[in-house]
Amino acid sequence: MDTNNRRKFLKNSLLLAAIPAIAPLDIFALDKPENGKSSSAPFMFAQIPLPYAYDALAPHIDAQTMEIHYTKHHATYVKNVNEAIKAENLNFSNAFEFFAKASTLSAKAKNNGGGVWNHNFFWDCMTPSAVAGPTGKLKAAIDKSFGSVEQFKDQFSKAALGQFGSGWAWLVNDKGTLKITGTANQDNPLMDTATVKGTPLLAIDVWEHAYYLKYQNKRNDYIAAWWNVVNWNQVAKRLV
């Protein structure tokens, strides 16, 4: 990564860290009217600043993958969904209303809206300062639902490895019960089309572009390495 890009994203990381503490998931709604427009303006999706430098998660996730993933794939989802919102005259006040009507949306709006939100969430599921594992209330909830943290990680990894084609594996809170689920493409558990619905707590992207430069077809190696950068503190904050 060149010096200018490094400075830019280190600056963005500091700005993100300076945001006051807010209710879990609020940062992902990004539901302020675009460009200071009135509250009657339709909700538009936005890309959060990457919370760390491209190379911060290495060696588990390499810098080139992070840069391409963030600046190409994620940025394109933002462009495409906002085009769809304008072209189709969609008028939602936030992302959660948008996903609650996923079954009524065009493929362009649904797929790209999911792509933006899912990636915003995914970036914040990871940290270069990862702790060993969950503690406190989160650990107790995982133990209750899955038997132990190790059993949870095993089941979650199997869900991620077994997701056919492109998609995601999720840990969700369904009215106090923790569940593991998978979604295809850019679907997520907030959508009214989801088989298993709930509040997302943790997610892993298993699209090939998330890992192929480093791991090629070895999705299992990528998943195993990913556990080393899970942001358990953020996961715990989402458990309310």
The CATH number that applies at residue 113 is: 1.10.287.990
The proportion of the chain whose per-residue pLDDT surpasses 90, expressed as a percent, equals 82
Looking at residue 240, its pLDDT comes to: 79
Say yes or no: 172 and 210 in one domain. yes
pLDDT tens profile 113-163? 999 999 999 999 999 999 999 999 999 999 999 999 999 999 999 999 999
Confidence of residue 34 (pLDDT cuts 50, 70, 90): very low
CATH assignment of the domain containing 166: 3.55.40.20
Say yes or no: 118 and 206 in one domain. no
Q: Which two tokens stand for residue 127?
A: 């940290």
Could you say which of 79, 101, 124 is where a domain stops? 124
Q: Which residue has the higher pLDDT, 130 or 6?
A: 130
Average pLDDT score over residue span 101-123: 98
Using the predicted structure, report yes or no on whether residue 101 has a pLDDT greater than 90.
yes
Residue 57 domain flag? yes
Report the SS3 class of residue 27.
helix
- How large is the greatest C-alpha to C-alpha distance in the chain, in angstroms? 49
Say yes or no: 37 and 117 in one domain. yes
Looking at residue 39, its pLDDT comes to: 54
Residue 129 domain flag? no
Region of poorest pLDDT, from 35-39, 98-102, 137-141:
35-39
Say yes or no: 172 and 101 in one domain. no
Looking at residue 189, its pLDDT comes to: 98
Q: How far is CA 209 from CA 53, 73, 77, 102, in A?
A: 18, 9, 14, 24
Residue 130 domain flag? no
Average pLDDT score over residue span 59-77: 98
Looking at residue 29, its pLDDT comes to: 45
Could you say which of 124, 159, 194 is where a domain stops? 124
CB atoms within 10 A of CB 158: 15
What domain range is 64 assigned to?
3-124
For the entire predicted model, the pTM comes to 0.85
Say yes or no: 75 and 113 in one domain. yes
* Count, residues in the chain: 240
Q: What is the mean pLDDT of the chain?
A: 88
Say yes or no: 120 and 140 in one domain. no
Say yes or no: 32 and 144 in one domain. no
Say yes or no: 78 and 58 in one domain. yes
Rg (CA), the chain: 17
Confidence of residue 167 (pLDDT cuts 50, 70, 90): very high
Average pLDDT score over residue span 206-228: 98
Say yes or no: 105 and 155 in one domain. no
Element (H, E) at 167: strand 167-174
Q: Is 40 exposed, middle or buried (0-12, 13-18, 19+ CB in 10 A)?
A: exposed
Residue 193 domain flag? yes
Looking at residue 43, its pLDDT comes to: 95
d(C-alpha 106, C-alpha 104), whole Å: 7
Say yes or no: 112 and 176 in one domain. no
CA dihedral 86, 195, 210, 199 (to 10 degrees): 80
Report the SS3 class of residue 105.
coil
Residue 131 domain flag? no
Residue 207 domain flag? yes
Q: CB of 82 within 8 A of CB of 92?
A: no
Which residue matches tokens 């107790």?
140
Could you say which of 124, 152, 168 is where a domain stops? 124
Say yes or no: 98 and 160 in one domain. no
The number of distinct structural domains making up the chain is 2
